[in-house]
Amino acid sequence: MGKLKRIPVITKKVAVAVMIAGFLLCSAIAFVGYQSFNKQFRKQYDSNIRSIAAAACECLNPDMFDDYLTLGSKDGEWDGINKILQDFVDKFELNLLYVSHVEGSDFTEITYFYNPVMKGGKWTEFPFLYSEHYEEPNYNKSAKRVFENGETIVRHTLKTRSGSHITAMTPVRNSSGQIVAVLGAQKSIQEYVDAGRKYMHRIIIVEILFAAIFFALFTFYFSHFLIKPLALITRETDHFASFGGQPSDRLLEIKNHDEIGILAHSVHQMEYDICKNMEEIKSMTAEKERISTELSVAAKIQSDMLPKDYPAFPDRKDFDLFATMTPAKEVGGDLYDYILLDPDHLMITVGDVSGKGVPAALFMGKCKVLIALYSLLGLQPKEILERANVQLCKGNESGLFVTVWLGIYTFSTGELKFANAGHPFPVLYQNNEYSFLKTKPNFVLGSMEYIPYEEHSITLNKNDRIFIYTDGVTEATDSDNQLFGDERLLEAMKKTEHLTAPETLTKVREAIDEFVGTAEQFDDITMLTFELK
């Protein structure tokens, strides 16, 4: 034979006490005991049925009830909730459970949203949105108290045709706190009523002589071994909750070698663990706030590194220039810059560092400084990229790299010399047409030292313009994982022909946002437009 399951010690104590009590109980004291038992039963059943009703309410979506009443049809969510409510009926052995809207001055007009019933029972489930005129004073008064006062009502119904039962009626509130329905949970207590009647019939024969003995022994036993320890646990937990989570060692006074003793020591340990966890949470919260503050400062520093004034060069009326950078995180890895090297030469550049966050932002700052430095030395685009590449490769143990498009425009000749280090092709507006300025791209910066870079040139005339961007523009993704792409970019640019530089970037960003919708931005978005007037 298999090993018998161990009976808990506390169960043995209760069983012994009940057996002694049953033997000693007399008819006179039995009646008093029965009344006390009945009162406790009602209290326990009230608590249980309230808990069941409250738990069932948590499964509902009351915000849909108005739609159900308006449209007169249910959705897919209704079936799932109805199944959950049916599980409540089955697992808790309820007669039925209903969720209904009650109207009328006397609360007699009822419309049912849900009405699962006990399988194989005597109750019939009402269909979805079934309506009826129901006049029953106790029910109507209870419904009124639920809807008008927001009370949870427990009704005891005894000796009806359907038997004795207990019903909890609780208000159902939507997300705005408005009571939109009542949930009722009904459970049979017929078994208890029958058992009580038999109990009274049998116990009457017990001699009155043993009433006092039973009361004394039973009260002492439970008072000393059960009630007193539980009362101490209750007081200590209440003290812990009321006085700022300060534990005490009074629970260690409970010396029971049973489940109550285990519970007391577990609660004592839990109090200390909670205090410890609270301290850890405070520490983690402070650290999180510190990091958040530092990231905000880093974002401000990065933003201050990029030119933002418009017009960029107020004294120059022969061109229009503007750029923006929107990071995907607090700080980003994109860069842009423009420097009027002298009255006849303008340097413009846009770059995109691999990765995101603080490492990319630091690498971006280094790259921007190097490009600005070599540009001011009067070097050509290819030479600027070659020297910057050498410096970026040094000490780059993290393996970061950056794509860069850099151009230097000569106003006197209209020539734009440029070099491309693995960057997306810019959009060129020339001869009333938009197209990509495609050239053979060079290798990215920061990955391999001492590699040569090719340089190209085009001529820009009056009204020509060039739009430079990072891949965060064309790779912007909507909720269906579709890319914004090159074609949508060209279509967006065609709507900017007569706009200023800031208006052009705003128009393109609006097109991106409209395409992306509610999808999250996962990459930095940087745009620069240079327009000759």
pLDDT digits (tens, 9 = 90+) for 93-138: 999 999 999 998 899 999 999 999 999 888 899 999 999 999 988 8
Choose the CATH number for 27-203 among 3.30.460.40, 3.30.200.20, 3.30.450.20, 3.20.20.70: 3.30.450.20
Two structure tokens written together for 429: 């507006």
With H, G, I as helix, E, B as strand and everything else as coil, classify residue 372: helix
| pLDDT score for 7 | 47
Mean pLDDT (whole number) for 417-446: 95
Put the strands of the sheet holding 109-114 in their side by side order: 131-133, 109-114, 94-103, 179-188, 165-173, 153-157
Whether residue 26 is predicted with pLDDT greater than 80 in this model: the reply is no
| pLDDT score for 244 | 61
3-state secondary structure 411-464: CCCCEEEEEEECCCCCEEEECCEEEECCCCCECCECCCCCCCCCCEEEECCCCC
Give the DSSP H/E element, type plus range, for residue 182: strand 179-188
| pLDDT score for 98 | 95
- For the full predicted model, state whether its pTM sits above 0.85: no
Two structure tokens written together for 432: 């009333």
Task: State the CB neighbour count (10 A cutoff) for residue 114.
Answer: 23
Please tell me which residue, 276 or 346, carries the higher pLDDT value: 346
CA distance 277 to 367: 44
Confidence of residue 265 (pLDDT cuts 50, 70, 90): confident
| pLDDT score for 65 | 92
Mean pLDDT (whole number) for 492-503: 94
| pLDDT score for 3 | 44
pLDDT digits (tens, 9 = 90+) for 162-205: 678 899 999 999 999 999 999 999 998 877 777 767 776 777 67
CATH 3.60.40.10 fits 309-532, yes or no: yes
Extended beta strands in 92-178, E state: 94-103, 109-114, 131-133, 153-157, 165-173
Q: What are phi and psi for residue 463, nearest 5 degrees?
A: 75, -5
- Domain residue spans of the chain: 27-203, 219-278, 309-532
Please tell me which residue, 430 or 46, carries the higher pLDDT value: 430
Evaluate whether 98 touches 85 at the Cβ level (below 8 Å).
Answer: no
Confidence of residue 300 (pLDDT cuts 50, 70, 90): low
Question: What mean pLDDT, rounded, does the chain reach?
Answer: 85
